[in-house]
Structure 1
Amino acid sequence: MPFKKLHPEIQEKLASFEIETPTPLQRKSIPVIKSGANVYCTAPKDAGKTTTLILTTLHTLKFEAVGNAPRAVVLVENKEKALELYDAFLEYTRHTPVRVYVGHEHLHVDVQKSEIFMGIDILISTPKSMNKLFLMNGVPVSQLKIFSVDDAEFLVQQSAYKALMSITQSIKKCQYVLYSEKIDPKLKRFEAYFMEYSKKVTV
């Protein structure tokens, strides 16, 4: 039962939302992600991919605020998805010390940079916005533990693909988890770069 082995505060939150039973994806993927491996999580729409991402991110960070540099990064396709995921994270992190920050290309990069330096735990952003921050040294990555991509199909777009490749070259050591409905050949190519020795979880 994957929920039983998650951080106690996560279990409390799930109980308050009356979520007792993991989806088939959560049952299969949570133990694999917790092991620290790079993972491709493939499942149909509404299989619980985004909730899995939130639960495993918070578990990895032990539901606490540490230092100033982000320890988790989540990449999404656009501003709308970024704000949607931010709200979903807040359902779990409200009234806790965990600091979630959302960035996108409609927010000036200097504003993002200064706000990130004030201290965050989880950074949600778009490829273009995050790449710009990385090029400006606007995101310290020395503490990064987990890098997830929600609905990763958008990475087949050339601009998003290139931005992610550029971002990952700046990161020395980190766990990567890609969530998608299917693994496009272009996503499989990441195995030769940052997704080495990756495991695949499919439902």
Structure 2
Amino acid sequence: MSFKKLIEPLKDALKAQGIEIPNALQTKVLSKIKSGANLFIIAPKNAGKTTTLVISVINKLKEAFEDAPRALIFVKDKQAALELADLFNLYKRGTDLRVYCAYEEHNLELQREELYLGTDIVIASPKRLNRIFYLNGINLNKLQMCIVEDAEFLFRNNNFAEVTRTPESIGKCQYLVFSDHFDNRFERWEESFMFLAQKVIIK
């Protein structure tokens, strides 16, 4: 997929950063993500996985809509959440998409209040997201995309189990997992909510 098929504000934002043609990973996966396929996207560091994630979410959501989030992105911690939010803010210029970060170091009640005001994209650590959800602090009924960035962190501190709980509580949605390598434990997801998921591997 070429950048010609992206929404205009996103093309302008990419061009402002000197990015005018997709790299190898983006060429291979952007059209698959746009089609709604569930994907394990396996590529080495510096292959452009995070930028590909951001481009895909912005291009799919396009503009702000209602109050409930339509994209949920799991990250390992506060620093990862804030860094990803910065990248979203860079590339969503020209759109009115709203991005919110939820992580343990922030006041829980305040996060619930802020989420109630409305957002399109939530970037969250797994434990904090689940705590907010089970306190009825976030509505996931409108979710279109559920994504894991840099999925290696899942296999520490019970994060794999925390992320696995989320699909049990939401309806049909697209799942994307970005990782440096395919871990055999992902096969559990292939047997459930990521049934028939495609693997895209860049070496």
Instruction: Give the TM-score range, shorter chain.
Output: over 0.9
Q: Deviations over 1:8-28 (max 9, x none)?
A: 221111111110121111110
Kept in 1, the 8 Å contact 2:2–2:21? The answer is no
Kept in 1, the 8 Å contact 2:10–2:92? The answer is no
- Show the 5 A alignment for 1:107-146: 107-146=106-145
TM-score by length of 2: 0.95
Q: Take 1:101 and 1:54, find their aligned partners in 2: how far apart are those partners?
A: 14
**Pairs aligned (count):** 202
2:51 is matched with which residue? 51
Kept in 2, the 8 Å contact 1:155–1:187? The answer is no
Q: What is the CA-CA distance between 1:157 and the residue it aligns to?
A: 2.5
C-alpha RMSD of matched pairs (Å): 1.2
1:87 is matched with which residue? 86
1:33 is matched with which residue? 33
Kept in 2, the 8 Å contact 1:101–1:120? The answer is yes
Q: Take 1:2 and 1:50, find their aligned partners in 2: how far apart are those partners?
A: 18
Q: Take 1:45 and 1:170, find their aligned partners in 2: how far apart are those partners?
A: 32
Q: Take 2:196 and 2:90, find their aligned partners in 1: how far apart are those partners?
A: 33
- Show the 5 A alignment for 1:1-203: 1-62=1-62, 64-94=63-93, 96-157=95-156, 159-203=158-202
Structure 1 residue matching 2:41: 3-state secondary structure: strand
Q: Which runs of 5+ in 1 are unaligned?
A: none
**After the TM superposition, which segments of 4 or more aligned residues of structure 1 sit over 4 Å from their partners?**
none
Structure 1 residue matching 2:158: 3-state secondary structure: helix
Q: Which runs of 5+ in 2 are unaligned?
A: none
Q: Which amino acid aligns with 1:2?
A: S
Kept in 2, the 8 Å contact 1:156–1:187? The answer is no
Q: Deviations over 1:137-174 (max 9, x none)?
A: 21101111111111011112351011111112111111
Q: Deviations over 1:16-41 (max 9, x none)?
A: 11101211111101111111010000
Q: Take 1:166 and 1:57, find their aligned partners in 2: how far apart are those partners?
A: 22
Q: Take 1:107 and 1:56, find their aligned partners in 2: how far apart are those partners?
A: 28
Q: Among the aligned pairs, what percent are the same residue?
A: 42
Q: Take 1:129 and 1:94, find their aligned partners in 2: how far apart are those partners?
A: 28
Distance 1:94 1:21, change over 3 A: closer
Q: Deviations over 1:37-69 (max 9, x none)?
A: 10000000000000000000011102x110000
Kept in 2, the 8 Å contact 1:99–1:120? The answer is yes
Q: Take 1:171 and 1:158, find their aligned partners in 2: how far apart are those partners?
A: 23
